[in-house]
A = this chain, B = another copy of it.
């Protein structure tokens, strides 16, 4: 009486244990076996997110589109996968019951949520200009919020200071391998159906999503092109990937607040060099058009970072023509008035 989906999952993961984890993996910090273990730490409200064909959007873009929807959960974004892994492993290895992170919003939301589940006190440091909707929701989940002048990098500095001075565990998104491995479980789910995927489009900020999902594809489905997309207004990791060494930028200027960093992590860049095939940067106009297309064809409200994949196809349609393209819709935490305004322009 087992439903089909579970049969399929069982076969898939049993098969993986026996053979696929022996498959050659790119030499990075990431490891398929650890990602499979991470999957066991992720709570059910984040696992098995919907994956579905969006025919109307595919017709407009000239390719087949598979949407992997990471917004239908209590925090409206994918980062709960990573923070559940962080908290589970922390409980096994540390006696600390206090964590801090810097966040543009979504990591903070996820950490606040997981902290509440696991009985861990969470402090989130954010820029004074961070998305107000996200900050409100973080407070509602019971985390302390400290806002600092300056951008996301100022928040990162302050979070490190709190960690150093108070013996508090610091969760640095993407640098912390758990956040990458948690995100990587999305890749396992995209592949579990066994259908061909020619390209997977991932928002690129700090790099947890890109390296986690990228590693799973490069290991289990190396023919899939791993495309990581940044806004032109926050291109530090894209520039670093092209230069094969860290390039910092002076400032960021993008509506995609979820991916707007200036100081890429060397460890994450090394992983990304092994796991990404292509890293385009896109215009703000394309991001807004992408959000509109997702709204009009799929009734989806997404934050700008989640429209980077559509933007990449709009700016380079021939690359994807006729292909089967999966895109991870990574977040929906956007202020509704702002979203409505973007939809009307």
Contact = CB atoms under 8 A, between A and B. Distances in A.
A54 interface: yes
Given A3-B40, A55-B140, A340-B343, A299 B333 contact: yes
Most central of A36, A44, A45 by chain B CB within 10 Å? A44
A53 B334 CA distance: 18
Contacts of A6: 6, 9-10
Q: Binding site of A, secondary structure by majority: helix, strand, loop or mixed? A: mixed
Interface stretch (A72-80, A202-210, A237-245): A72-80
A300 interface: yes
A92 interface: no
Contacts of A43: 4
Given A71-B299, A295-B301, A36 B140 contact: no
A197 interface: no
A167 interface: no
A336 B5 contact: no
Interface in A1-30: 1-6, 8-10, 13-14, 16-17
Task: Place the interface of chain A in its size category.
Answer: 35 or more
Given A4-B43, A299-B334, A301-B301, A56 B140 contact: yes
Contacts of A42: 3
Interface string A332-345: 11101001100110
B140 A47 contact: no
Interface string A305-344: 0000000000000000000000000001110100110011
A131 interface: no
A129 interface: no
A141 B10 CA distance: 32
Nearest to A141: B55
Interface of A: 1-6, 8-10, 13-14, 16-17, 36, 39-40, 42-45, 47-56, 59, 67, 69, 71-74, 76, 137, 140-141, 193, 295-296, 298-302, 332-334, 336, 339-340, 343-344
The 8 closest A-B pairs by CB, nearest first: A50-B72, A299-B332, A299-B301, A296-B336, A5-B44, A6-B6, A52-B74, A69-B72
18 contacts: A1-B13, A1-B17, A1-B36, A2-B10, A3-B9, A4-B40, A4-B43, A6-B6, A50-B72, A50-B73, A52-B74, A55-B141, A67-B72, A76-B299, A299-B301, A299-B332, A299-B334, A300-B301
